[in-house]
Homo-oligomer: A and B are copies of this chain.
Amino acid sequence: MGKLPAEGTQARRFGKTRSAQSTALHEDYVELIADLLEGEGEARPTDIARRLGVSHATAIKTIARLKRAGLVTARPYRGVFLTEKGRALADRARTRHRLVVDVLRALGVSTESAEADAEGIEHYVSENTLKAFAQFLKSRE
């Protein structure tokens, strides 16, 4: 996105949210790629694009960024694969996703709404909150 603000004063109420946003898309991609690799055996740009609702050109461009970020490997016409780092991120994302969906459902949200909302919410749940979620779910077993 650019450089960080000079910032001498306090602020940071929104700061974390912002930086999290840059990661959200990466998480969506690796999560989906992990799903495709497990489900279909391969993750191809066109499928990724369709599932994310973007053009294939956009998907390819993003995949290039993921590659630069060390999250995936991809050779032309050969599909996309996760690196160790990518797999780790995907796992974390999926764990969070499941937990968020379970909590929403426990609160009375319909499965469809829970799945849909979790997609956005999961990227903003901190470790602390995640722990509280797990605890809460366990407490009401």
Give, as a whole number of angstroms, the nearest-CB distance from A33 to chain B: 13
Give, as a whole number of angstroms, the nearest-CB distance from A71 to chain B: 17
A21 at the interface (CB under 8 A from B): yes
Query: Are B116 and A16 touching (Cβ within 8 A)?
Result: yes
A11 to B21, CA, bound (A): 21
A13 to B118, CA, bound (A): 10
Beta-carbon contacts under 8 Å, A58-104 to B: 103-104
A117 at the interface (CB under 8 A from B): yes
A114 at the interface (CB under 8 A from B): yes
Q: Is the interface of A mostly helix, strand, loop or mixed?
A: helix
Specify which of B28, B54, B113, B115 is in contact with A5 (CB 8 Å cutoff).
B54
Query: Are B17 and A120 touching (Cβ within 8 A)?
Result: yes
Query: Are B132 and A107 touching (Cβ within 8 A)?
Result: yes
Give, as a whole number of angstroms, the nearest-CB distance from A3 to chain B: 10
Question: Which chain B positions have C-beta within 8 A of A123?
Answer: 120
Report, nearest first, the 7 A-B pairs whose CB atoms are least far apart: A120-B124, A11-B53, A113-B128, A108-B132, A15-B53, A17-B120, A109-B132
